[in-house]
């Protein structure tokens, strides 16, 4: 008996669901963990983000499919706001345990209003102190 196209598609349709359910967990696109950072071999946190998840540093305009605009999130190191995304260039990758992008809605709940581009949270490793240069804008 030949298997026609509708039956073939119907027979294969459960496989993506089964594969998704059997996975070890979904990859969170807004988090970069320490092992990923170390595999990147980037010199600083900014370069690592650009290499691993560049979408954390850009956003798509509403109604646009291809046009991206740069995103300028605030930066918090160990839950302390330290400035803008340019400070990421001063944070060595080997001192970072985790980087997470928090969208504007969650950032407003955590830190108050004024974070239209969200907040980039950087957790440093317990065995290191972050070496942050002064923020060029003068805010720390």
- Tell me: pLDDT of 6 over 60: yes
The yes-or-no verdict on residue 75 having pLDDT over 60 is yes
Look up the pTM and report it: 0.67
Instruction: Give which of 108, 104, 42, 37 is closest to 73, Cα–Cα.
Output: 104
| 63 pLDDT more than 60 | yes
Higher pLDDT, 136 or 92: 92
**Measured at the alpha carbon of residue 137, what is the angle toward residues 68 and 106, in degrees to the nearest 5?**
50
Its sign, for the CA torsion 32, 33, 35, 37, is positive
Instruction: Name the residue ranges covered by the structural domains of the chain.
Output: 27-124
Number of Cβ within 10 Å of residue 88's Cβ equals 25
Question: Percent of the chain at pLDDT above 70?
Answer: 66
Average pLDDT over residues 69-86: 90
- The pLDDT value recorded for residue 19 is 47
Cβ neighbors of 120 (< 8 A, separation 6 or more) are 49, 56, 73, 74, 75, 76, 85, 88, 99, 100, 101, 102
Task: Report the topology of domain 27-124.
Answer: Ferric Hydroxamate Uptake Protein; Chain A, domain 1 (2.170.130)
């Amino acid at each position: 008996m030949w298997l026609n196209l509708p039956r073939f598609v119907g027979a294969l349709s459960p496989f993506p669901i089964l594969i998704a359910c059997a996975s070890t967990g979904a990859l969170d696109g807004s988090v970069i963990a320490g092992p990923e950072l170390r595999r990147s071999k980037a010199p600083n946190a900014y370069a690592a983000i650009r290499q691993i998840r560049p979408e954390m540093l850009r956003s798509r305009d509403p109604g646009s499919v291809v046009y991206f605009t740069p995103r300028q999130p605030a930066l918090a190191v160990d839950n302390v706001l330290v400035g803008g995304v340019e400070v990421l260039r001063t944070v060595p990758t080997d001192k970072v345990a985790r980087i997470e992008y928090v969208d504007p809605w969650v950032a407003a709940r955590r830190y108050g209003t004024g974070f239209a581009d969200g907040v980039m949270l950087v957790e440093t490793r317990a065995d290191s102190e972050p070496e942050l240069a002064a923020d060029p804008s003068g805010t720390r």
